[in-house]
Amino acid sequence: MKSKLRPGEIVAIATLALLAVAAIAPGLLSTLDPLGIDPGQAFRPPSAGHWFGTDESGRDIYTRVIHGARASLIIGVVATVIGIGLALLLGVAAGIGGRGTDFALTRVSEVLFALPGLLLALVFIAIAGPGIATSTIAVGLATAPGYARIIRSQVRAIRGAPYVEAAIVLGRAPGHRLTRTILPNAIAPVFVLATLGVGQAIVWASSLSYLGLGAVPPAAEWGAMLAAGRTYIGTAWWMTVFPGIAIVLAAGAATALGRSLQNRTRQVNR
Amino acid sequence: MTDTSASILSPAVARGTPVLDVQNLRVRFGRGPQVVDGISFELTAGECLGIVGESGSGKSVTARSLIGLAGTGAHVETDHLRLGERSLVGLRPATWRGIRGRKIGFILQDALSSLDPLRPVGREIADALRLHTRLSPAARGVRVQELLTAVGMPEPHLRARQRSGELSGGLRQRALIASAIALNPPVLIADEPTTALDATVQAQVLELLAQLTASGTGLLLISHDLAVVKQLADRVAVMRAGRIVETGSTAEILEAPQHDYTRSLIAAVPTGRPRGERLSVSSSPVLPATTGALGTQTRPHEPPVAPEQHPVLDAQRLTKVFRTPDRSLMRAVDDVSLTLHPGRTLGLVGESGSGKTTVARLLLALETPDHGTVTLHGEPWSPLPESARRHRRRQMGAIYQDPSASFDPRLTVEQILTDAAGNGSGGTRQHRTRVAELLDSVGLASRTRDSRPAHLSGGQRQRVAIARALAPRPGIIICDEPVSALDVTVQAQVLDLLNDLQQEFGISYLFISHDLGVVGHMSDSLLVMRGGRIVERGDTEAVFRSPAHEYTSRLLAAAPRL
Amino acid sequence: MLRWLGLRIAGGVFVLWAVATLIFFALRLIPGDPAQAILGGPGSQASPEALAQVRLDYGLDQPLAAQYFGALGRLLRGDLGTSYALKTDVGALILDQFWGTLVLTLAALAAAWIFALGLALWTTRGGWLSDRVGSGMEIMAAAVPHFWLASVFIIVFSSWLGWLPAISVPGPIGLVLPVLTLAIPLAGFLGQVMRESLADALESPFALSARARGESETGVRWYHGIRHAALPGISLSGWAFGALLSGAVVVETVFARPGLGRTLLNAVTIRDIPVVTGVALVSALAFILVTVVTDLVDRIADPRLGTS
């Protein structure tokens, strides 16, 4: 982890830092009110006064994008925590459990897998009803089987690794092996997975908002902003383009950071 | 060799004609140091020149430079480089392609990865013909059959349609050779052609290469193994750090080596060397004066004793059956009994798939035998539940072929050794002393304690593995192929170290290897394993002198020796 | 091979049963009265008589176990029930919408494959631009949401350039933007995996052997590289099909294109449970079938899989 940061990593970290500032103290980046309507200023294209233009009620889109960071990031992080948390339960249990446990849990994740991606999230929302909370849980739930599969195979691989066998030869008890050898080695990959997952969760959660199942306009949330822009796509392109760029930047930076963390842990272990 | 194959295999160059002439070859990558630093040699038709060197000597880069494939970023310079009458300097890529395969054949180590796993081997061989001849696909097919027959491939029709993964190691290597000699190139470069093979198979492949030189091919044989080179080479060049340190006829090099490095290479070959004779010449004695301190501080180990005493480890009629992927049953270990006496080394030799590693795992109680029992220090071992075994595990250590995978990648050397030595008791101070002792006894500098094993050399890593095995002060160490991944001179040092430690602490070894020479040098008595069964057992010297089983004789005959 | 196939199909049947069971019991967790939902939710102020009639019609007055086995029995006969909102047969509704989605996803899969293979071949050539594209494409694929890509396409190709329709009209021209929207992010993922596999193959000893035989770089790619690049693409195609089904929900909505995805979204929005269940089961069935087929192709293409 000591080697110098590459340019791509610096860009990714800077982007995430900027988003963090926007999420924690949006007032630093824009002094306008994200919900303040001004009908006289509706549908203004990007200009010096309104960098990203204005929406149908004359709200400043730049301000709304900045304020949207908080909702989008929180949803992304919470959904990832839910997804990874569930996956850890399933994956670690399947990874360290006996054949029976592994078989049963693998079948469970196969069943969840049969409804790929958003389909599982949609079924969950159909049952639990739409809203920010349920769409966040839905994204977590929908991502969990994929993570569980990765975590399971990682724990299995570590459990079968020669260095774990070496611990058996040294007379270590199973509990000791689990807490001192297997889990510490599994944590770094899970951390990487979570970083990658935040990017995916932001994209999926904003998709649900766009479909009208998560955050609802006029809330300043990127997916909801895009949903509002959909009606005016032929005339006010800026309502669609700028919130979308925010999503791409946030998710892209998280993914890029996750990948470079992955490469670095690989190098350390090599 | 049959008449047809002779005509197929002999290139149209008269014996003794120079076929390859290299003057002052230099290679470096990017701005790095010279990997090959001015080497010169020549090769005549029907001659075999052996290039011997250890890893990092630059021998493989040399081989690749000769066919213009040194790799990306390589700067290759020569005073001259001639193939017969033709200069190979400054050729255009298309011209190079016309030479590769047609004028110079190239055989790489490990045919499994050197043949495309997704294509039938027949297609790989036919490719050479497609590139350099105007033969029709049907005619290529016929020629492929001839070539496979010529390299001694049984059932060539069948084999040509199989992919490399479906062939055994020896057949795979034959297929690779067939693809390299498809155009009868006057020069053949073989880079470690037998390294991944079992001894008996290695002997067959070397025999095939000998036939090729006999029919007039100039062979450049590159190997880390002096004993292999000796069997084929007319002349030998010894390479080290990018330079040829010594060159001469094979007899001269072996009998009157001039250079220290050559001498250490020769001394390192264990085959036929009596037990106890040191193999490493360059290294200082591994156990310096401080060993006394180590010996007195420790609680007493069993002293070296005569075999009449109670055995430390005893296995009776072990059998282990595995289910193969196609659901049939395979007896990996079949009715194996062995006895390990205190302070002695029991050798276990066998080729790949003979079941020797499963034996090691049964003895270490990492597998449970289907039949038979293991007894440790006269008390039951294998029948016990793991919880009852755990506190006695520290009486038995293990060293593996690939030490790097056996270390937790997060830990430093010091953490590994502390973890292995301590059962939680004792202060930091005591731990540090113990780690220092252990590093000292395996001949590692104390500054390695903060390194991670991944950053150490192969030899150092194996020393750390030995130190870890020693840490709980075991009476027994199971060594499974402990030196197979090491260079010969490093192998010599590690073998000497193991012998020294046995002298010092009276440890009993079960020494497992595919290499009869290594096992013979290390062991008091010997077991020969094949297909899960022990086919021969006895005193090492006696077995070497008069093997009872036909398989042992074949192993002995196939073992390369100096 | 037959044994393996049998096991796979049995596994698929099990998964379908489990999905159906899971959804059935999860639905019982919904607070409120299903009969209310059928009549349009609590706001509809349905009369007690109407509610009772609905309970009778839908068998909601029966014990849970009877309802469950009744539902399973109907499923086995291919009866997916009746839509709450449309009062029509769900099976017929799905059959009606299925082909549109199948054409869309398969076209997108094919397009993604072609793009991915092209990207893999190009980005392993070396050079500044191809290296940048190579390392960036996976990140773009992961970070660009379908709905935004579709919107940008509409803005550029429909609003500004006027080349292609913003609404998916029947016929191939209406398929272009939806297919591109689905295919481009997927191509980024597949291309990344193919690229790694291709790069490994080009540096492998067998590629060196081929070069030593006199093979040109183009020849090495053609005779050796492409197979190795394609392998992980085949393995991932089952997963990719699933991702496309999920993406179809968004794409069909943005381009107002009829299909399963849009049907599902509408059903989710108005909580038309039989339709949601039906679409979920049919998607799961399609996904499982495609996975079995890709696994089969994978085993034929790579002989190493059968033995390990």
A180 has a chain C CB within 8 A of its CB: no
Which residues in C144-234 belong to E strands, given as ranges? none
**Residue-level pLDDT at B201:** 84
* DSSP state for residue B348 in the 8-state scheme: E
Q: How far apart are CA B355 and CA B528, in angstroms?
A: 11
* Nearest alpha-carbon partner for B496 in B299, B290, B273: B273
Write out chain A residues lying below 8 Å of C148, CB-based. 226, 240, 244, 247-248
**Residue-level pLDDT at B39:** 92
Is the confidence at residue B376, as pLDDT, over 80?
yes
**Residue-level pLDDT at B3:** 41
Residues 6+ apart with CB under 8 A from B8: B146, B147, B150, B184
Q: How far apart are CA B375 and CA B313, in angstroms?
A: 6
Share of chain B above pLDDT 70, in %: 91
**Residue-level pLDDT at B2:** 39
Residues in chain B: 562
- Three-state secondary-structure class, residue B108: coil
Cα of A176 to nearest chain C Cα, Å: 32
Q: How far apart are CA B560 and CA B223, in angstroms?
A: 13
Q: How far apart are CA A71 and CA B74, in angstroms?
A: 53
Q: Which DSSP helix (H) or strand (E) runs through C124?
A: none
**Residue-level pLDDT at B475:** 92
Q: How confident is the model at residue B297 (pLDDT cuts 50, 70, 90)?
A: very low
Which residue matches tokens 């009458």?
B85
Is the confidence at residue C75, as pLDDT, over 70?
yes
The model's pLDDT over A64-102, given as tens digits with 9 standing for 90+, comes to 888 888 888 899 999 999 999 999 888 888 887 778 888
Q: How far is CA B422 from CA B414, B415, B431, in A?
A: 12, 10, 7
Mean pLDDT confidence for C203-212: 92
Q: Does the domain spanning C90-302 belong to CATH 3.40.50.9100?
A: no
Q: How confident is the model at residue B527 (pLDDT cuts 50, 70, 90)?
A: very high
**Residue-level pLDDT at B281:** 67
Q: How confident is the model at residue B163 (pLDDT cuts 50, 70, 90)?
A: confident
Report cis status (omega within 30 of 0) of the bond before A218: yes
**Residue-level pLDDT at B129:** 93
- Using a 10 angstrom Cβ sphere, with 0-12 exposed, 13-18 middle and 19 or more buried, the burial of residue B306 is exposed
Residue type for position B16: G
- Three-state secondary-structure class, residue B248: strand
**Residue-level pLDDT at A3:** 63
Which residue matches tokens 């670095």?
A264
Q: How far is CA C173 from CA B79, B378, C179, C255, in A?
A: 64, 83, 10, 13
> Domains in chain B, ordered, with CATH?
3-267 (3.40.50.300), 313-403+474-558 (3.40.50.300)
Q: How far apart are CA A169 and CA A162, in angstroms?
A: 10
* Mode of pairing for the β-strands spanning B525-530 and B533-539: antiparallel
* Nearest alpha-carbon partner for A77 in A149, A19, A18, A12: A19
Residue type for position C148: W
Write out chain B residues lying below 8 Å of C227, CB-based. 116, 118-119
C239 has a chain A CB within 8 A of its CB: yes
The model's pLDDT over C239-296, given as tens digits with 9 standing for 90+, comes to 888 889 888 989 998 888 888 988 998 888 887 888 888 888 888 888 888 888 888 8
The model's pLDDT over B416-441, given as tens digits with 9 standing for 90+, comes to 998 888 755 556 778 888 899 899 88
C30 has a chain A CB within 8 A of its CB: yes
- A156-170, B127-141, B183-197 — most confident range: B127-141
Chains A, B: CB contacts within 8 A come to 50
* Nearest alpha-carbon partner for B395 in B384, B381, B385, B408: B381
Looking at A250-254, B400-404, B464-468, which range is the least confident one? B400-404
CB contact under 8 A, B97 and C215: yes
The dihedral region occupied by A265, where left means phi > 0, alpha psi between -120 and 50, and beta the remainder, is: alpha
B400 has a chain A CB within 8 A of its CB: yes
Q: How confident is the model at residue A152 (pLDDT cuts 50, 70, 90)?
A: confident
β-strand partners of B336: B318
Is the confidence at residue B295, as pLDDT, over 50?
no
Cα of C50 to nearest chain A Cα, Å: 23
Show contacts of B314-317: CB within 8 Å, 24+ apart: B314/B338, B314/B339, B314/B340, B314/B374, B314/B375, B314/B378, B315/B339, B315/B359, B315/B362, B315/B363, B315/B372, B315/B373, B315/B374, B315/B375, B316/B372, B316/B373, B316/B374, B316/B375, B317/B371, B317/B372
CB contact under 8 A, A173 and B398: no
**Residue-level pLDDT at B294:** 36
* Nearest alpha-carbon partner for B414 in B456, B355, B358: B456
Looking at A91-100, B260-269, B287-296, C190-199, which range is the least confident one? B287-296
| A38, A59 contact by CB (below 8 A) | yes
Write out chain A residues lying below 8 Å of C269, CB-based. 130, 212-213
CB contact under 8 A, A241 and C271: no
Q: How far apart are CA B491 and CA B64, in angstroms?
A: 27
Neighbours of B207 (CB within 10 A): 12
Looking at A121-125, A127-131, A143-147, B315-319, which range is the least confident one? A127-131
Is the confidence at residue A188, as pLDDT, over 90?
no
Q: How far is CA B447 from CA B157, B415, C141, in A?
A: 59, 13, 47
Residues 6+ apart with CB under 8 A from B421: B431, B434, B435, B438, B471, B472
B461 has a chain A CB within 8 A of its CB: no
* DSSP state for residue B73 in the 8-state scheme: T
**Residue-level pLDDT at A267:** 65
Instruction: Quote the mean pLDDT of chain B.
Output: 85
Of B366, B400, B405, which has the smallest distance from its Cβ to A168's Cβ?
A: B366
Q: Which DSSP helix (H) or strand (E) runs through B319?
A: strand B313-323
Is the confidence at residue B296, as pLDDT, over 50?
no
Looking at B60-74, B277-291, C262-276, which range is the least confident one? B277-291
- Three-state secondary-structure class, residue B292: helix
CB contact under 8 A, C142 and A127: no
**Residue-level pLDDT at B358:** 92
Residues 6+ apart with CB under 8 A from C267: A126, C83, C85, C273, C275, C276, C279
Cα–chain-centroid distance for residue C92? 21
With CA atoms as reference, the chain C residue closest to B132 would be C214
Q: How far apart are CA A194 and CA A190, in angstroms?
A: 6
CB contact under 8 A, A165 and B410: no
**Residue-level pLDDT at B425:** 53
Q: How far apart are CA B149 and CA B308, in angstroms?
A: 55
**Residue-level pLDDT at C215:** 92
A185 has a chain B CB within 8 A of its CB: yes
Mean pLDDT confidence for A194-214: 88
Write out chain C residues lying below 8 Å of B119, CB-based. 223-224, 227
The token duo for B73 is: 């970023």
With CA atoms as reference, the chain A residue closest to B417 would be A170
Is the confidence at residue B287, as pLDDT, over 50?
no
> Which residue did the predictor score with more confidence, B288 or A248?
A248
Write out chain C residues lying below 8 Å of B132, CB-based. 214
**Residue-level pLDDT at C220:** 93
Q: Which DSSP helix (H) or strand (E) runs through B491?
A: helix B488-505
Q: What angle in degrees, to the nearest 10, is found between the helix axes of A99-113 and A132-159?
A: 140
**Residue-level pLDDT at B6:** 44
Q: How far apart are CA B19 and CA B2, in angstroms?
A: 26
Mutate to test the interface with C, among B102, B118, B220 (most CBs of C within 10 A): B118
Q: Which DSSP helix (H) or strand (E) runs through C166?
A: none
Q: How far apart are CA B475 and CA B238, in angstroms?
A: 41
Write out chain C residues lying below 8 Å of B166, CB-based. 303
Residue type for position B236: V
The model's pLDDT over B179-191, given as tens digits with 9 standing for 90+, comes to 999 998 999 999 9
**Residue-level pLDDT at B308:** 55
Looking at B38-52, B268-282, B355-369, which range is the least confident one? B268-282
| Chains contacting chain B through 3 or more C-beta pairs under 8 A | A, C
The model's pLDDT over C122-165, given as tens digits with 9 standing for 90+, comes to 888 877 788 778 778 878 888 888 888 888 888 888 878 878 87
* Nearest alpha-carbon partner for B210 in B186, B185, B238, B229: B229
Chain A 148-167, residues with CB within 8 Å of chain B CB atoms: 161-163, 165-167
With CA atoms as reference, the chain B residue closest to A162 would be B406
The residues spanned by each domain of chain A are: 60-269
CB contact under 8 A, C284 and A8: no
Is the confidence at residue B14, as pLDDT, over 90?
no
- Using a 10 angstrom Cβ sphere, with 0-12 exposed, 13-18 middle and 19 or more buried, the burial of residue B424 is exposed
Chain A 82-101, residues with CB within 8 Å of chain C CB atoms: none
**Residue-level pLDDT at B1:** 38
The model's pLDDT over C11-21, given as tens digits with 9 standing for 90+, comes to 888 888 988 88
**Residue-level pLDDT at B419:** 87
Of B110, B118, B131, which has the smallest distance from its Cβ to C215's Cβ?
A: B131
Q: How far apart are CA C167 and CA C253, in angstroms?
A: 10
CB contact under 8 A, C214 and B100: yes
Of A170, A181, A185, which has the smallest distance from its Cβ to B393's Cβ?
A: A170
CB contact under 8 A, B391 and A171: yes
Looking at B45-59, B536-550, C62-76, which range is the least confident one? C62-76
Is the confidence at residue A1, as pLDDT, over 50?
no
CB contact under 8 A, A185 and B409: yes
- Three-state secondary-structure class, residue B90: coil
Is the confidence at residue B239, as pLDDT, over 70?
yes
With CA atoms as reference, the chain A residue closest to B473 would be A170
Q: How far apart are CA B365 and CA A172, in angstroms?
A: 13
**Residue-level pLDDT at B404:** 82
What torsion do the CA atoms of A168, A170, A176, A181 make, to the nearest 10 degrees? -80
Q: How far apart are CA A270 and CA A187, in angstroms?
A: 17
The residues spanned by each domain of chain C are: 2-76, 90-302
Question: 3-state secondary structure string, chain A?
Answer: CCCCCCHHHHHHHHHHHHHHHHHHCHHHCCCCCCCCCCHHHCCCCCCCCCCCCECCCCCEHHHHHHHHHHHHHHHHHHHHHHHHHHHHHHHHHHHHCCHHHHHHHHHHHHHHHCCCCHHHHHHHHHHHCCCHHHHHHHHHHHHHHHHHHHHHHHHHHHHCCHHHHHHHHCCCCHHHHHHHHHHHHHHHHHHHHHHHHHHHHHHHHHHHHHCCCCCCCCCCCHHHHHHHHHCCCCCCCHHHHHHHHHHHHHHHHHHHHHHHHHHHHHHHHC
CB contact under 8 A, A252 and C267: no
Q: How confident is the model at residue B244 (pLDDT cuts 50, 70, 90)?
A: very high
pTM over 0.90: no
Q: How confident is the model at residue B290 (pLDDT cuts 50, 70, 90)?
A: very low
* Of the options 3.30.70.1150, 3.40.50.620, 1.10.3720.10, 3.40.50.2020, the CATH number for the domain spanning A60-269: 1.10.3720.10
**Residue-level pLDDT at B154:** 87
Write out chain B residues lying below 8 Å of A185, CB-based. 408-410
**Residue-level pLDDT at B10:** 61
CB contact under 8 A, A119 and C152: no
Residues of B with CB under 8 A from a CB of C: 64, 67, 69, 93-94, 97-102, 104-106, 108-110, 113-119, 124, 127-128, 131-132, 163, 165-166, 176, 179-180, 325-326
Instruction: Quote the mean pLDDT of chain A.
Output: 84
Q: How confident is the model at residue A229 (pLDDT cuts 50, 70, 90)?
A: confident
Mean pLDDT confidence for C193-217: 91
B473 has a chain A CB within 8 A of its CB: no
Which residue matches tokens 């030479």?
B99
Mean pLDDT confidence for B259-263: 91
